[in-house]
Amino acid sequence: MVMIRSAPSKKKIIFPLLAISVGLLPFVTLEIIFRLFDIANPTEVVDTSSGFSGHQPLFSLGADGANYSTTRNRALYFGDQSFAASKADDTYRMFFLGGSTVRGRPYAVDSAFAKWVEIELNQRSKKTTYESINCGGLSYASFRLTHINREVLEYDPDLIVIATGHNEFLENRTFEKQSSQAEVRSALESLRLVVWLRSMIGQDVESFKDSSQDALPDNVTARLDSESGYASYNWDPEWVASITAQYESSLEAMIQQCQQANVAIVLVCLGSNLRDCPPFKSEFNEKVAPEAQQRFLDLFEQATLLANQPRQALKHYQSCLKITDQFALLHYRMARAYEQIGEPDTAKKHYLIAKDTDLCPLRLTEEMDNIQRNLARKHKVPIVDARAVMESSSVRNIPGYEMYVDHVHPTLHGHQLIAGAIVDELITQDIVLPDLELDVQQYQQLYGQHIQSLPLAFFANGARRVGWLENWARRDLLVKELEPFDLRGELAVVHRHLGFDETEHAIQELNKVADKYES
């Protein structure tokens, strides 16, 4: 008969566990004390959860229980917003979700289209108070917004407006592991001891603000933020396909979340700068042989020397096109040449291809644009075609600096146009029913009063942020591509100065243009 000895085996397990427990006891005790006395609150340090955290809500309830406000460590990325915990009976609450365009960059939330929607609806209503809450996050992609959307549905919304798509390719992420890894990290970072240690090494919110005055901070790791970020963008069709699929599933998830909660939802289809935004990066793919690449470059250089002879240049560009149609800058050059010879429709086609073949895709692609529209039809969701609004307000339907201050961010006038389109769609769909109509003069007065109320540094801060954005996006590499070839191009600089209230600079540039064309 064989005797089974279980006691030694149990000891081998119990003693190490006891040793570990004794070692952890001081830390557990400190954690309990910190929580009891609310020491080292997680909201006091910069959020690194990348939007996945269940421990870091976008909004937090105040001590008095009366109002929600942007969680302190999320305000760096979203801007300060607040709203009543208990919504009044006469209040219509709207949440606007998206990236920096929704936030109003390069300006601020007070001039974003969400604010203009609120201003117009309140001016046109006698009985209802319209409340817009801006949830635009810097560099936030759609898969992060699903978490924000799920949260705001708890705050008694009447309407969710989603405008997203420009930020999808900003991060170097893997879809299988990112979410679970972030959840584990977020759980650890919610521990008060970890928060206390992070605050000791300067990761508290105030220290982070002080150390990041020149560079806009973000809790999203954008590829261009690192020195090697620009170089990391290369031909990777599988990566593009994965992100595009993720975009579709994220957008559909948000639609379903809203419909299941019986909350109205509207999609906004965003546009981008086509004329005054060369592709950020162009490269040959692996299918183009070295000899063919050299032949392409020779033809490209010959066409460059014929910049003032667009028809002749186009002959060389057409020869380049036979070698490869996947070189983004080629399409941009062809678009400008077609504009010069008076073929705007063909020019626009090539501007769009230049955008879509850009290896550093910081603008919503045509495939993603179609995904939005298809999902809107599939789920019977209203869609605001902000892209079409901006294009129809542009010369030859090709938007440039008149509508966008950079590659994607609208001018103040652009934000107002988008807001008007949203209001019109809400009325068409009987989602809102305003009491009054406004004429052009009343709109001008309404907009003017609000702009006058903005801080003195409002426009200067906007200009500073555009400078930072263009440096971040390596725009200095493409300055030569923006040399004007017509009056509209010359006036683009004037438009940019006016957009930042730099009247003196605008007048100086305007005088230069006048002198040039007078002679």
**Domain spans, the chain:** 59-213+241-276+363-464, 290-356, 465-518
Check whether the bond before 310 is cis (ω within 30° of 0). no
Residues facing residue 68 across a β-bridge: 61, 83
Backbone φ and ψ for 131, nearest 5 degrees, come out as -125, 115
Nearest by Cα to 134 from 158, 170, 101, 167: 101
Q: Is the dihedral of CA 277, 116, 367, 473 positive or negative?
A: positive
Asked if residue 466 lies in contact with residue 405, where contact means CB atoms within 8 angstroms, the answer is yes
Own/partner long-range contacts of 118-121 (Cβ < 8 Å, ≥24 apart): 118/94, 119/446, 119/447, 119/450, 120/419, 120/420, 120/423, 120/438, 120/443, 120/446, 121/92, 121/423, 121/432, 121/434
Token digits for 281?
A: 């990066």
**CATH number assigned to the domain covering 290-356:** 1.25.40.10
Nearest by Cα to 62 from 79, 46, 43: 43
E-only strand ranges, 45-128: 59-61, 67-70, 82-84, 91-98
Asked if residue 163 lies in contact with residue 268, where contact means CB atoms within 8 angstroms, the answer is yes
For every residue of 413-439, DSSP letters joined together read: HHHHHHHHHHHHHHHHTTS---S----
pLDDT on residue 227? 55
Backbone φ and ψ for 286, nearest 5 degrees, come out as -70, -15
Distances (CA, A) of 246 to 365, 476, 500: 14, 32, 36
Q: List per-residue pLDDT tens for the chain, 519 residues long.
A: 444 455 556 656 676 666 666 665 665 676 577 566 565 555 554 455 444 444 578 999 999 999 999 988 777 788 889 999 999 999 999 999 999 999 998 888 999 999 999 999 999 999 999 999 999 998 889 998 999 999 999 999 999 999 999 999 986 654 444 445 555 555 555 565 555 555 555 444 444 444 444 333 334 556 665 556 677 888 889 999 999 999 999 999 999 999 999 999 999 999 999 999 999 999 999 999 999 999 999 999 999 999 999 999 999 999 999 999 999 999 999 999 999 999 999 999 999 999 999 999 999 999 999 999 999 999 999 999 999 999 999 999 999 999 999 899 999 999 999 999 999 999 999 999 999 999 989 999 999 999 888 887 777 777 777 776 666 666 666 778 888 888 898 888 787 777 777 788 788 888 888 888 876
pTM above 0.85, yes or no: no
Distance separating alpha carbons of residues 415 and 103, to the nearest angstrom: 11
Asked if residue 250 lies in contact with residue 267, where contact means CB atoms within 8 angstroms, the answer is no
Indicate the fold that domain 59-213+241-276+363-464 takes in CATH. Answer: Rossmann fold (3.40.50)
Nearest by Cα to 147 from 47, 61, 42, 67: 47
Distance separating alpha carbons of residues 510 and 517, to the nearest angstrom: 11
The DSSP H or E segment spanning 203 is none
Burial of 207: CB neighbours in 10 Å, binned 0-12, 13-18, 19+? middle
Asked if residue 225 lies in contact with residue 472, where contact means CB atoms within 8 angstroms, the answer is yes
pLDDT on residue 212? 42
Asked if residue 347 lies in contact with residue 310, where contact means CB atoms within 8 angstroms, the answer is no
Q: Is 197 helix (H, G, I), strand (E, B) or coil?
A: helix
Token digits for 153?
A: 């549905």
202 phi-psi bin (left φ>0, alpha ψ -120 to 50, beta other):
left
Token digits for 352?
A: 């769009």
Q: Is 117 helix (H, G, I), strand (E, B) or coil?
A: helix
CA atoms within 13 A on the CB side of 361: 27
